[in-house]
Amino acid sequence: MNLYIWLFLLGLARVQAAIQCNSSSSCPEEAPCCSQFGECGTGGYCLGGCNPQFSYNYKSCMAMPICKDTNTKFNKYRSKVLDKDTYLGNASAGDWAYSGYLMDYEDEESLLLAMPKDSSGTVLSSTRYVWYGKISARMKTSHRSGVVSAFILFSNVEDEVDNEWVGSDLNNVQTNYYFEGTLNYTHSRNSSANQTFSNFHTYEIDWREDKLMWLVDGKVGRTLYKNSTYNHTTKRYDYPQTPSRVQISLWPGGNSTNTNGTIAWAGGKIDWDASDLKNPGYYYMTLNEVNISCYDPPSYAKKNGSQAYSFTSDTSFLSQNVALTDDQSMLYSSEGSGLEPKLGKDNDTSSKGSSKATSTRATSSSLASGASTAFIQNINSGKSSSNSKNGGRVINKPGVLTLLTLILSCVV
């Protein structure tokens, strides 16, 4: 199941409708960047997930920070995670950015991704991109019907490699892949994993030019060969092949607002009154460690620098249309974009382009032993970034109520 279809449909429900972007409608120049949620804007809309296919033009999106070998142990790590709402693309400021709810869980030297009642959950994204590599995550999933945990690779043009777990099945991981967002439900396969909520397992994606392997605890559960994805109609390989971010998430697939098909796939409707919502007060998944090992780029890749990946075409977005460059990947203002990347530079005093999340320590009976209260403070404040998709400026069309008001005023 594609996580981003669900997020996109959720965004469509807003009364104040943003300008939408898709295969039949590109973004306007004043809001040139098409976000991964299908909305036009500036700032954060032009960073991770900015889709050059549906933006004003392919240069509207910022360059993608190049891969860097990374080992992240998530012990007391929350304060190091960047807030996606204020992140402006400086990957040197931190390896990860998030929207939603995070908390340290010191008993297991891990980070919890949480989902309180009636929320849309949490997404943790790498600030750098991987263009082929080996990525592993040591983690525990969440549980219960309708609760979905995910560990995926996702590119700006919607190439995708998935590990997903539905909470009603704790002994299997669903593997899947997509090419440029094309839906094909025949690609899903299961791999075995024992009691994924109670036990730590190491899940691995080994992504190479010629094949993809999904592993559980070092054992290969599935192999996909690029040659098997050849599309004789389009004469191309429908194989994930463009630079991608690592994303780990927890989301309510069984929410009542979703389609019947999504709810059924997620194991049924989510129970927002389950015991988890009373103690500890939220659904959660546990992330202990992530390793990213970068492979060399394809031998045919153009090398015009060494700091970022950039698309080189506005009509084709395959691996041969990606170059290594020194193009700018950081913005200086939420008003900026790839069309005006230096906008706000004269007013930038920190040169960091981002704000870090803060964390506090205390004890609370509503939290699991060893957990930080920072997460509960986020819930109680009602200001968590889970309700916001991108930091930046979004151009809105008049909502339904606004149009109705205008019509009535003319009648009167």
Question: Could you list the active site residues?
Answer: 160, 164
Give the angle subtended at the CA of 352 by the CAs of 346 and 354, to the nearest 5°.
110
Query: What b/e readout covers 104-115, taking b as 16+ CB neighbours within 10 angstroms?
Result: bbeebebbbbbb
Residues 6 or more apart whose CB falls under 8 angstroms from that of 3 comprise 148, 150, 152, 164, 249, 251
Residues 6 or more apart whose CB falls under 8 angstroms from that of 407 comprise none
CA distance 208 to 132: 5
146 φ/ψ angles, rounded to the nearest 5 degrees: 85, -5
Among 121, 80, 338, which Cα is nearest to 249's?
A: 121
As a residue count, the chain comes to: 412
Report yes or no: 290 and 246 within 8 Å, Cβ to Cβ: yes
To 10 degrees, the CA torsion angle through 38, 290, 216, 249? -30
402 φ/ψ angles, rounded to the nearest 5 degrees: -65, -45
Sign of the Cα pseudo-torsion (205, 208, 213, 218, in order): negative
DSSP code string of 337-390: BTTBTTTTGGG-SSS----B--------TTS-TTB-SHHHHHHHHT--GGG-S-
Report yes or no: 318 and 242 within 8 Å, Cβ to Cβ: yes
